[in-house]
Amino acid sequence: MYKDFLDIKPEVAKAMEEGIPVIALESTIISHGMPYPKNVETALAVEDVIRKAGAMPATIGIIDGRIKIGLTEEEVEYMATAKNVLKVSRRDFPLVISQKGDGATTVAGTMIAANMAGIRLFVTGGIGGVHRGAGESHDISADLEELKMTDVTVICAGVKSILDIPGTLEYLETAGVPVITYGADEFPAFYSRRSGHAAECRMDDPAAIAALINTKEKMGLKGGVLVAVPLPEEDEIPFEQMDVVIREALKECEEQHITGKRITPFLLSRVKDLTEGKSLEANIKLVLNNAAVGAAIAVNL
Ligand code: PSU
Ligand code: MN
């Protein structure tokens, strides 16, 4: 039984029993997406936002080959500081579990674990997508494949422009994934509220989003739902400003021959340095904002 691979934290198990909505959170953002100690502070602050809104957070990660559905504060600290924490998407589970290793779950990895635990909602910052130049490199995140097949709703701040945003939207359309933009007419670009791409499906009411998710599940339509939430205006970095920085980071990535799963962490870290930490501040604010929206959907589900 796949449940044998899970360790469900007692307070999460209790919430499930009592019908309190549980929201999954990922750990790649902790281990590979943000520097210490901001990663720990953010992870715990996000959990707090969810708790205060009447839902239960479950930060997901892998320790000693066990899939943790809900990390303790000590375990969050461990994920943030331990060496050799593998970045885990679908293909990495058999390796990290059979070798009893440590793993930080990506959006794809967290969706898989959440689904095994029966969790329907997952809040994060940004998802992976189709990379610029994917026509040649074939670099398309496993997150998109997971959205195609796994029944979890992912709440994010849109797609970073280190990626090909229209390409990612096309891919999601082909994959049959409903993409909802929360409270805006333009699909958001993570650090920026605007991307230049119209939101095909705008929804302003968390209850209506919950109804859409329930309907999809009742109809037996496999796959995820993506909810994109523009970050608050006061926290955003304008698209044009970010674009310059991202082009520079992408150039360095190519010059240094960074490939595969190292690309996204490299770009995030370079963007942070090139913006003198401004991108990190925006990243923190947007995750907190997503948590509030996620919790509002959760209590309506
Ligand atoms: N975007 C961020 N921060 C992150 C990630 C993306 O702003 O930490 C992480 C997520 O875990 C996402 C993963 O699932 O990067 C995508 O990696 P890749 O592009 O290698 O598929
Ligand atoms: Mn990739």
Q: Which bound ligand lies closest to the C-alpha atom of 189?
A: 1
Confidence of residue 157 (pLDDT cuts 50, 70, 90): very high
Mean pLDDT, residues 110-119 taken together: 98
Ligand 1 within 6 A of CB of 107: yes
Residue 161, pLDDT > 90, answer no
Ligand 1 pocket test target in 60, 86, 105, 106 with most atoms within 8 Å of CB: 106
pLDDT in tens, 94-108: 999 999 999 999 999
> What pLDDT score does 32 carry?
95
Residues known to be catalytic:
26, 160
Q: Which residue has the tokens 């520097």?
A: 35
Would the pTM count as exceeding 0.95? Answer: yes
Is the minimum distance from the CB of 34 to ligand 1 under 6 angstroms? no
pLDDT digits (tens, 9 = 90+) for 223-249: 999 999 999 999 999 999 999 999 999
Ligand 1 proximity of 126 Cβ (cutoff 6 Å): yes
Nearest CA to ligand 1 atom 11: 106
Substitution site in 27, 28, 290 for ligand 1 pocket (most atoms within 8 Å of beta carbon): 28
- Give pLDDT, residue 148: 98
Which atom of ligand 1 has the smallest separation from the CA of 34? 8
**Burial status of residue 299 (CB atoms within 10 A of its CB: 0-12, 13-18, 19 or more):** middle
Domain definitions of the chain by residue range: 2-300
Average pLDDT over the chain, rounded to an integer? 97
- Pairing relationship of beta strands 56-63 and 66-69 according to DSSP bridges: antiparallel
Ramachandran region, residue 197 (left: φ > 0; alpha: ψ -120 to 50; beta: rest): beta
C-alpha 18 – ligand 1 centre gap (Å): 32
DSSP assignment string, 42-80: HHHHHHHHHHHTT-EEEEEEEETTEEEES--HHHHHHHH
Between 3.40.50.10900, 3.40.1790.10, 3.40.50.2020, 1.10.472.10, what CATH number should domain 2-300 receive? 3.40.1790.10
Distant-in-sequence, close-in-space partners of 191: CB < 8 Å, separation ≥ 6: 160, 161, 231, 236, 237, 242, 279, 282, 283, 286
Q: Is 29 in the pocket of ligand 1 (CB under 6 A)?
A: yes
